[in-house]
Structure 1
């Protein structure tokens, strides 16, 4: 496979096909080191993967690259996003943690209280998405876990509808990173959405996590896209850069997402391991900009 870094250097303002296996797509780059983005994907980046910069600096770099939003920012830092004209593409701060979620009835009251307080705040700030989690399975079967999630979410979904806020449950793998997590398969999250019957509940389809636990990414996106409200990226294996070092064909995945009519954000959530971490982010945006 051709060296991707050399390909970037060789093309100014034009498109180039990189490699022979189809893993990487063509992209444009300007002399000022800014990408010439096509506008089909609304790009975002997760705050925690670049927290070494601090949110202020991340906003500056994001705007330079052409990124429109920052993921997983709570109310205490929304002011920084507004200062830089960036959207909060996925708000957080109402959840307990990743393991104590809506699948556990004993956590429902605490979650209901927290989300009841947070939903109006998200709306008042002008944002749309608020993350939530199923939490761990703790021995329960699929049907029990689905019912528990539905029963808990039903207590707050009317409030979300009233304020035009979407509760977005993240799908996480239970094989490597989040042992025992309940919503580790897309069909489980989709069944929760079906039973709630509200457009204000969607799934966060994390491409990395779902490749680890179930694979068949493009087919799954095509099948369940009506229930998906947000996407995260990362390379497999390792959750690092989404370049030629990993197994997923991100340009093909992005084209499949665009074909569904999706208009939301795709947020980069890989953990950069290269020395120039911002260059890794620029390259990831270029790869995903189809």
Structure 2
């Protein structure tokens, strides 16, 4: 192919991709929004917090989405009203940066989790999030052992109540200095704790930014992953053709592991039709 012919063809191809991306932003008619539900779908409420929670729950009901992420105890009665499951609870953590890797936070964290774990179980939920905290000059192996010593003190209670404590993996660009920024570090923590009631929240966006190799990582380490979050790379926006990850293949890899948990959308919406963007994301992940 001559160079000028190649450039012309590439231009046409680019225009086609742009048109495809624009088409993705068109509203999806409700009658065309049909899910197979081979995976359990969820969504992080904070990404749509321009809406009152109750209004958002009504929208989820209209879409047939039965779960929501990162809701604390005070709002669980509202979830019950709309029969929406809390697929990842919060409310026991101190912050993203003050976590289990620093012993000075252990007393407060143990108190918090001791209070919230029974509440999670009583509400009929399973997953409760936690964070490693920042390094602040601490060696990763020291922080790992500190996490083991702290979390092991709440695991018997979690096991008793059937609650799974899940530590989220973050990247270093969005969360500089966060310790649990590596799949292998998180997996080693799981191995040292040795309990089915401690897992990793594998955030696909964060781990693509931090280390890549998403599908192989899922295939190799999926027994340690109890929950998944999505978002597009780069930008943490929609998971359409404007970003580098192909989510249908990732979802198929998750499904092939026999995963029974939830996959929650956690992207920052840029489309004018924000609920349309959410519907588009659910359909892309509905393999």
Q: Tell whether 2:204 aligns with 1:187.
A: no
* Distance in 2 of aligned mates of 1:39 and 1:279: 18
Please report how far the alpha carbon of residue 33 of structure 1 lies from its aligned counterpart in structure 2 after TM superposition: 4.0
* Distance in 1 of aligned mates of 2:85 and 2:32: 20
Contact 1:34 1:64 in 2 (8 A): no
Q: What's 2:111 paired with?
A: 113
Q: What's 1:221 paired with?
A: 218
Q: Tell whether 2:265 aligns with 1:268.
A: yes
Query: What secondary structure, in the 3-state scheme, does the structure 2 residue paired with 1:126 have?
Result: coil
* Distance in 1 of aligned mates of 2:40 and 2:66: 7
Q: What's 1:246 paired with?
A: 243
Contact 2:25 2:277 in 1 (8 A): no
Contact 1:100 1:107 in 2 (8 A): yes
* Distance in 1 of aligned mates of 2:192 and 2:200: 13
Q: Taking structure 1 as reference, are residues 178 and 8 closer, same or farther at Cα in structure 2, changes over 3 Å only?
A: closer
Q: Taking structure 1 as reference, are residues 79 and 34 closer, same or farther at Cα in structure 2, changes over 3 Å only?
A: farther
Match of 1:72 among 70, 73, 89: 70
Q: What's 1:96 paired with?
A: 94
Query: What secondary structure, in the 3-state scheme, does the structure 1 residue paired with 2:43 have?
Result: strand
Q: Tell whether 2:273 aligns with 1:257.
A: no
Compare 60-69 and 267-276 and name the one that shifted more.
60-69
Residues 91-121 of structure 1: CA distance to partner in whole angstroms, max 9, x if unpaired?
0000000000001111111100000000000
Please report how far the alpha carbon of residue 7 of structure 1 lies from its aligned counterpart in structure 2 after TM superposition: 7.3
Query: What secondary structure, in the 3-state scheme, does the structure 1 residue paired with 2:135 have?
Result: coil
Contact 1:137 1:145 in 2 (8 A): yes
* Distance in 2 of aligned mates of 1:260 and 1:77: 33
* Distance in 2 of aligned mates of 1:7 and 1:116: 45
Please report how far the alpha carbon of residue 39 of structure 1 lies from its aligned counterpart in structure 2 after TM superposition: 1.8
Residues 152-182 of structure 1: CA distance to partner in whole angstroms, max 9, x if unpaired?
00000000000000000000111x1100000
* Distance in 2 of aligned mates of 1:51 and 1:288: 22
Name whichever structure is richer in helix by fraction.
2
* Distance in 1 of aligned mates of 2:192 and 2:20: 48
* Distance in 2 of aligned mates of 1:7 and 1:90: 29
Q: Taking structure 1 as reference, are residues 270 and 149 closer, same or farther at Cα in structure 2, changes over 3 Å only?
A: same
Residues 43-91 of structure 1: CA distance to partner in whole angstroms, max 9, x if unpaired?
0000100011111111111122221201000000001111111100000
Q: What's 1:141 paired with?
A: 139
* Distance in 2 of aligned mates of 1:285 and 1:65: 10
Residues 169-224 of structure 1: CA distance to partner in whole angstroms, max 9, x if unpaired?
000111x1100000001111110100000000000000000011111101111111
Q: What's 2:234 paired with?
A: 237
The gaps in structure 2 that reach 5 residues or longer are: 1-16
Q: What's 1:280 paired with?
A: 277
Q: TM-score, normalised by structure 2?
A: 0.91
Q: What's 1:14 paired with?
A: none
Superposed CA RMSD: 1.6
- Tell which structure's C-alpha radius of gyration is larger: 2
* Distance in 2 of aligned mates of 1:34 and 1:106: 53
* Distance in 2 of aligned mates of 1:8 and 1:121: 40
Query: What secondary structure, in the 3-state scheme, does the structure 2 residue paired with 1:162 have?
Result: helix
Matches of residues 49-64 of structure 1 in structure 2 within 5 Å? 49-64=47-62
